Amino acid sequence: MALANLHLKFARVFYQRCFYLFVSMIALIVVAPFAQDFERGPLIVHVAQVLVLLAAVAAVGRTAMPFVIALLLGSPPVLLQLAVMLGLDESANVVTLSSAFYVAFYVVAIVYLLRYVFSPEVMTDDKLFGAASAYLMLGIGWAFAYNVAQSVSPEGFRSASGATRTFFDLLYMSFGILSSNGPGDIVVVGSKVKSLVILEQIVGVLYVAILIARLAGIYPPKQEKA
């Protein structure tokens, strides 16, 4: 009896993998601003990003192909950021390359996650957490894209402080744009960055509309009694 209960608990953990992906991203969003106050702040943020990456690999790796692709795209940014943390290579090109790999990883992970969420099978709790996770991944993935844009074109962003925007600054800006609330105190002046902003606004609106349509479509209309 005890072994059977233990098996059921393990099966539930494995089944609710999208829930852990959602929790890991919430943790990243909460931890990122506080980490800036510590000397080891970048390392803390990096660990949180790695946890999100691992949770995403588990969430999309339901078959061999998505698992291998996600793992191949997720490994380089982890190793590159680790090299920066250890002081092996702190050049701006390494940071930019790491962010670019993260963007590619999030694009692939979102595609596989949405394919799972919008599959014709019955909508489950895990799929609902998958839908919420995909929305958070859009915001985080775009933050990495803005980080790449900042490295390539620093003059594309302006803020009251005038300093280089941190990852959390770009994360805050990304979710503001995704939810159509605006970029906050960061002013976007570069035409290339503005294109990214427009694309994120379009994707944010379409995602919510398509998700609502999907949720409405799984419930057949009630038949009136004669």
- pLDDT, tens digit, for every residue of 19-67? 999 999 999 999 888 887 777 777 788 888 889 998 898 888 877 888 8
Mean pLDDT computed over 90-100: 78
Q: How many CA atoms lie within 13 A of 103 on its CB side?
A: 15
Name the phi and psi angles at 144, rounded to 5.
-65, -35
pLDDT of 211-222, one tens digit each? 888 777 665 555
pTM of the model: 0.83
pLDDT at 179 over 80: yes
